[in-house]
Structure 1
Amino acid sequence: MHTGLRITAFAAALAATFGTAYGVGTGVDPIVADGAPAPHDEHDERGGPGEPTSRPEEGGGHGGHESTPAGGLQISEGGYTLDLATPRVTAGQRTELRFTVRDANGEAVTAYQREHDKELHLILASRDLATYRHLHPTRAADGTWSTPVDLPAAGGYRVFADFTPAAKGAENLTLGADLAASGRYAPARMPAPNGTARTDGYQVELAGSLRPGRASELKLKVSRDGEPVGDLQPYLGAYGHLVALRSGDLAYLHVHPNGEPGDGTTEPGPEVSFTATAPSGGTYRLFLDFRHRGEVHTAAFTVRAGSVPDATETAPSATPDHTDGHGH
């Protein structure tokens, strides 16, 4: 467990427009009750690492270029490759998702370092960022990982495998692959920037902001029925687990909390603190996982790097879609 923050970020390759991907059709209501579906920005799937991905007006003074390496979307990195054996599922049907991490020789990796109580963390998110899952698959002796998934809506998804091989000198990696859910499809609208989120009867308030190329503190305060929650339970070795995904290309930031249970200074709530650096300006979705009374809950926020939510941007946001127990 690291004290402070580590952000794992890698260069991105963008997915093709949903309407043409895997034969996905049109014509259903958006999967968040946030108004009419908004069109997505179109990106070139062949864009190389380090290319600008944010719009100029969201560039945070960087002209749309990356101030630090963005990422999380490479299928291969550092001699390792994510081999997704299940690239396509059917929306609304429970399916076994299977994948393997392979080394430079094409052999399946069977030994990993444990980080945050797990050998591998699997993040699954829809490209409109309305659906988010933090999954913990099981590994067979031959190196094949598997986990059941039941995606609520058709469209494009991204699978992120966050792990550190046990090989000497190996570093933490986040590899990504595209996943398609077939069926009738319509994109969900991105919720407006917000400083408060509600989930499962809890309210979470966000203080602080993401800044392009600069570290900044994010504080998330958890309350229930108007009372601060001061007895959060450890989850994955911390009192909170935060993932940030950039809208458009889904650049991935895995943020670790400041402090850990048992270090003598970190309190079990109501506030959980993180330090983060955005790779560029742009719009991001933040997903906070926390455990209380034996259950894991997820609160989601929309933020813009370089801006601070004000009084007009603190309406509670909808909880991201989580069926089958959040996948935790």
Structure 2
Amino acid sequence: MMNQARRVIVWRVTQDCNLDCQFCSYSQSLERIRQNADPAKVLRLGRILNEYSRQTGREVLVSWIGGEPLLWPSLLDVSSRFVHDFGLSVSATTNGVPLRSEKVIERIVDDFAEIVISIDGFGGENDRVRQKPGLFEELKRNVSALCELKEKRGSALIVKVNTILMRNNIDEFGTFCELMRDWGVNELTFNQLGGYDRPEFFPDNRLLVTQVARFIDALPGWKNDFSEAGLRIHGNDAYLKRFQYSCRDEKIPVEDCAPGAWFWFVNENGLISPCSYTSYEYAIDVDAISSPEELDAVEQSFRQMRRDKRSRFCADCHCTQLFDKFA
């Protein structure tokens, strides 16, 4: 498991998006209810996290996701408050389109600890699954401009790319890493395509057993070679085991995930859960927390909820943070 010294809070602040990705449940063309976080609610918890961090000395990273989090109108101003007023670290995962704005990349370089750009393969493959011709070339311009500004200002910002590995892009992973290095990216993480969000897309695009085996064999060499070139590739043996089990349709149950001990997922309604899969089974409203002391009590509340009723997702856990995606 990961080092639990840092408390990580992944907060989905919007369900809005500006792309039409075939694998995502927030694609802009899908008819669905789309909600946004209440800025006042977010700031209220930020103040409590500030007190908690000062009292415990524990670093807190709040990572914004969506949808496309940079479409949430309050994101940059709330992030600034979290960093400069509350002493917290912030991150965001973006599809990279909003990075075309000079103002946006300036605020990110000045305020954020890290920015994660989602890019799923290179060239036509990325554009195909995200259904936006020319997107990859736009991302090249946007990410390069971000990295150049970061260097110019001497910022400690970590520029990270996350890629979803699918049948049509996994065999090009080494070439993809070369491109990310050349763009100035610092770190790279990867997911395997899952089937929960868009089950109609999954069967023809999921990873094959033979592809995963080749990837596992090649990964140590890539990690070593690109580390020397300044690009860190995350993911260890535990994470790769999850890939092997998934491609064979085998389950990995988790009896004790230390729910809420170091990781929270918060949705746009302000409900805290141990992970994104259990948002409505094990949920505590952020408004129920009124003091720093109550933050650590969340773990015991989640443990009791799991004893009372085991989520079906716990019988086959896909929470990437538990399998050391970021190791």
Length-normalised TM-score, structure 1 = 0.32
Length-normalised TM-score, structure 2 = 0.32
Q: Greater helix percent: which structure?
A: 2
Greater RCO (Cα-Cα under 8 Å, separation 6 or more): 1
